[in-house]
Structure 1
Amino acid sequence: MKVVGLMSGTSHDAVDAAAAELTLDGAGDTLRLVPLGMVSAPYEDALRRALAAALPPSPTTMADVCRLDTRIGQAFAALAVRADRELCGGRAELIASHGQTVYHWASGGRVHGTLQLGRPAWIAEATGCPVVSDFRPGDVAAGGQGAPLVSLIDTMLLRGRPGVPTALNIGGIANLTALPATGPAVAFDTGPGNALMDAAVHAATSGRAGYDADGALAARGRVVPALLRRLLDEPYYRLPAPKTTGKELFHSGYLRTALDGFDSLTPPDLLATLTRLTARTVADALRPLGATEVVASGGGTRNPVLMSMLREELAAGTALLDSGALGLPAAEKEAYAFAVLGFLTLHGLPGNAPECTGARGPRVLGSLTPGRRPLRLPPVPARAPLSLVVGRG
């Protein structure tokens, strides 16, 4: 089955579409993924500004939410059509859309709700294909954190690797999945990935830049120990797993509060400190797990200063490699992951890892929006696949 996975992360700068050919082997134990490539498109400036203006801690209206739901859905639909044409030769059979997270309602160590925008009807109408969307609420309703949902794909991909392999994704928020030598898999959000760095760059450039390209600002600065200590006092880092967070906590207002008393701080020093914060909190989360290998993906891997600091912070002997070494390029992995989750949903198979999210059990995730053709569901396999093998056609 040819599936297009659509994703826009917490940095809300662009939409990614990765196409894959997915096949269950005869015994049903292994899911084979053949990558067909990825296309990406930035949000139009007006849409990105409207989205940023509606995110916490800013107030918004139901009218704004309705407009964003439609316009994000249309942006996803346009890219899905392009991905089907350019990557699948017009033969895509399913679209899996994560949508755009605009709010993750977490408090007291629990997640009470989650909201992703990008109305799937626009995607189904534009492509003619059925669309699986709204993956996270099913896990939340079952008592889970609703994140990181990629933990299921991570466990399938890492299973069988030696030592304690760990997958790390550094987007706006950083998350990890680890397979300990004994016991179940562990997954959680470690804290800010790029979120605070992006907020600092946006403020320093009056909105002209949205991120620290190639870590250029951080490379010119020095870490400010007093500020780093203040930032590390954040209670979230000490919460037990499973746990999840987002820009509801780590936003521009959070950063302004943390900078109280640091009036003479230069942008390079601030970026160096925030970059070290991300590296330190990731490494602090990995250390108790005994990680022997870290397979990294996400936009943060394109920041050489961050990756250098992470290498410095990791325990001696812990290997750090790009997810491309496992066949899924770092910039594309999450979009491929949601293509897999959509495939599982269509086949009536669970899409969460309860031991990672804290849900009461495995659940088939998402809502299904029919396309223009009659909807025909495939038979449900006898069992869910345990491993994911990335190959070539």
Structure 2
Amino acid sequence: MRVLGMISGTSHDGIDVAMVDFELVGSVLEGRVRHTASTPYPGELRSRLIAALPPAPATLAEVCELDTLIGQSFAAAAASAIEAAGPADLVVSHGQTVYHWVEGTHALGTLQIGQPAWIAERTGAPVLSDVRIRDITAGGHGAPLVSVLDGLLLGAYEGGAGALNLGGIANMTVVRGDALYAYDLGPANALIDAVVTSRGLHPRGFDEDGRIAASGRVDERLLEVLLDEPYYRLPAPKSTGKELFHLAYVESALARAGVTIGDADLVATLTELTVRTVAHEVRAAGVGTLVVSGGGCRNPVVMDGLRAALPGVSVAPSDDFGAPADDKEAIAFALIGWLTAHGLPGTVPGGTGAAGARILGTLTPGAGPLVLPAPVTAPPRALRLA
């Protein structure tokens, strides 16, 4: 079965896609990655999206328009992938998260926009969307959903492993055999990107290759204030997002710290925040291997900082394990699509905190009748990517 996975993550910079051919061979699910791509949002659309995100107010009219425009952008990205790699049996669209409703350690709701009907109309393929909400209805956080891929990919790794994703938010899955748990650690790139974008420090809105951070110095007083965030002390399972970690959060921390620092020093301090918070959680997990994906793994200041802070841990990109670091989340949503199509859960309770595993998503039919493959009675025991 050929599945196209699509996502725009918490960095909200564009759409990542992965076309994967899946075949179940015995108890092993083999996935051949046929095509990957990343399509940036048009500049005006990204600006509108950023302006509408919390804590800014947004009208229902603006939400409706963004839902349409983002849906059309996803449809264009899907059409390009199909043109390059051939037709898909199923498209899985995560869409764009615009609000993740969490109170304390409980997720109460989540909203992803990017109307899937535009994708179905443009491609003729059925579309699976709204993949997080069913887990939340079962008491989970709807995140991190990539944990289902981590469990299948790393379950056989002797001694256990941690799978770290450094997107806008950092999340980690700890895998030991058949057991796993996962949760959001805190900001990875979210605060860095907010500062870089608001101050015009890079035209693409992020610290490319960590150059800004490398040119600055960490302000220990500001870092102390940032590390005092109550979220870090909450027990897992837990999830967070840009509802908490946004530009105003940085400005408030600067005011509480009573410091005035330059742009490079601010970016360096926020980068060190990511390193400190992630390293703390990895040490607590007691894993000897850390497999890293997401845009943050391309930042040498972050990666060098993690290696220095974790001298007994092997830190490597997920590319070394068959999952390209820039495409892992898109591949994960393609996997969730395969699982849903075969009547299998796309979550692991330990990964989200839900009461039980759930089949995920809402289906939008394509151009013809909705035809699903025969159900699979037993889930795969492992995933092999190539």
Opposite residue 23 of structure 2, the aligned amino acid is T
1:23, CA displacement in angstroms? 0.9
Any stretches of 5+ residues in structure 1 without a counterpart? none
Contact 1:35–1:390 (CA<8 Å) still a contact in 2?
yes
Cα distance in 2 between the residues matched to 1:69 and 1:209: 23
| 2:88 equivalent to 1:92 | yes
SS in 1 for 2:334: helix
Number of the residue aligned with 1:366:
361
Number of the residue aligned with 2:15:
15
Number of the residue aligned with 1:241:
236
Any stretches of 5+ residues in structure 2 without a counterpart? none
| 2:305 equivalent to 1:309 | yes
Change in Cα spacing, 1:180 to 1:288, as seen in structure 2 (3 Å) is farther
Cα distance in 1 between the residues matched to 2:201 and 2:376: 53
Cα distance in 1 between the residues matched to 2:222 and 2:238: 25
SS in 2 for 1:157: helix
Opposite residue 225 of structure 2, the aligned amino acid is R
Contact 1:222–1:268 (CA<8 Å) still a contact in 2?
yes
Contact 1:180–1:289 (CA<8 Å) still a contact in 2?
no
Cα distance in 1 between the residues matched to 2:108 and 2:342: 28
Opposite residue 333 of structure 1, the aligned amino acid is K
Per the normalisation by structure 1, the TM-score is 0.96
Contact 1:176–1:188 (CA<8 Å) still a contact in 2?
yes
Change in Cα spacing, 1:347 to 1:180, as seen in structure 2 (3 Å) is closer
Contact 2:94–2:333 (CA<8 Å) still a contact in 1?
yes
1:184, CA displacement in angstroms? 2.8
SS in 1 for 2:10: coil
Number of the residue aligned with 2:171:
175
Q: Alignment partner for residue 35 of structure 2, among 31, 34, 37?
A: 37
1:37, CA displacement in angstroms? 2.1
Per the normalisation by structure 2, the TM-score is 0.97
| 2:287 equivalent to 1:291 | yes
Number of the residue aligned with 2:385:
390
- RMSD of aligned Cα (Å): 1.3
Cα deviation 1:109-160 (Å, max 9, x = unaligned): 1000000001110001111001111100000000001100110110100011
| 2:77 equivalent to 1:79 | yes
SS in 2 for 1:185: strand
Cα distance in 2 between the residues matched to 1:228 and 1:73: 39
Matching of residues 314-329 of structure 1 within 5 Å? 314=310, 316-329=311-324
Cα deviation 1:26-78 (Å, max 9, x = unaligned): x3x22110011211211011111111111001000111111111111100000
1:359, CA displacement in angstroms? 0.6
| 2:108 equivalent to 1:112 | yes
Q: Alignment partner for residue 217 of structure 2, among 190, 198, 222?
A: 222
Number of the residue aligned with 1:50:
48
1:204, CA displacement in angstroms? 2.5
Number of the residue aligned with 2:336:
341
Cα distance in 2 between the residues matched to 1:161 and 1:263: 46
Contact 1:180–1:290 (CA<8 Å) still a contact in 2?
no
Q: Number of matched residues?
A: 385
* Deviation larger for 263-272 or 12-21: 263-272
